């Protein structure tokens, strides 16, 4: 019983620090996600990419207009070249934004203040820490139930 009580006491003493740190790390990720989701410039570029992609895929077997873009296809933008074998799809999209007078919208990466910190927060690590906290809480509940039963038997 003494060992269990020491574990409980240690957990209680460390709880606030552990949860505060984990909460802060999650908050940074959430703020970074909000920056991305609210970016008008990024939305403009992605819309242009979708339009260009649908034009490029016109006449393909499926004949369907895409309604979204996969991350995998975004990675291919820098490698897919135009007829001149020099201009990439991304280059074309950027030039298109300039031609439409939307170059001020292309400054959106500067709005992503929290992305670098958020990218250093591994999802698996947060998940592991949350599972560890959950296991500790479950262990405490079991210990509480066991203690309650012991005291009820007195």
**What is the tens place of the pLDDT at every residue in 56-84?**
877 777 667 888 888 888 888 888 887 88
SS3 of 81, please? strand
Q: Is the dihedral of CA 29, 38, 96, 61 positive or negative?
A: positive
Q: Tens digits of per-residue pLDDT, 77-123?
A: 888 887 888 888 888 889 999 999 998 999 999 999 999 999 988 88
Distance CA 119, CA 126 (A): 12
pTM passes above 0.95:
no
Between 11 and 154, whose confidence is greater?
Answer: 11
Distance CA 4, CA 105 (A): 59
- Dihedral (Cα; 66, 69, 73, 79), 10-degree rounding: 90
């Amino acid at each position: 019983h003494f060992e269990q009580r020491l574990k409980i006491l240690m957990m209680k003493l460390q709880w606030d620090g552990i949860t505060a740190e984990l909460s802060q790390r999650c908050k940074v990720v959430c703020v970074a996600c909000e920056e991305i989701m609210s970016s008008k410039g990024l939305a403009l570029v992605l819309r242009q990419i979708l339009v260009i992609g649908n034009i490029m895929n016109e006449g393909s077997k499926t004949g369907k207009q895409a309604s979204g873009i996969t991350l995998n296809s975004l990675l291919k933008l820098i490698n897919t070249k135009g007829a001149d074998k020099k201009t990439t799809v991304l280059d074309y999209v950027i030039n298109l934004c300039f031609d439409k007078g939307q170059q001020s919208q292309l400054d959106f990466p500067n709005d992503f203040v929290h992305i670098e910190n958020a990218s250093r927060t591994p999802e698996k690590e947060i998940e592991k820490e949350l599972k560890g906290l959950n296991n500790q809480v479950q262990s405490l509940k079991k210990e509480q139930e066991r203690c309650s039963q012991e005291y009820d038997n007195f």
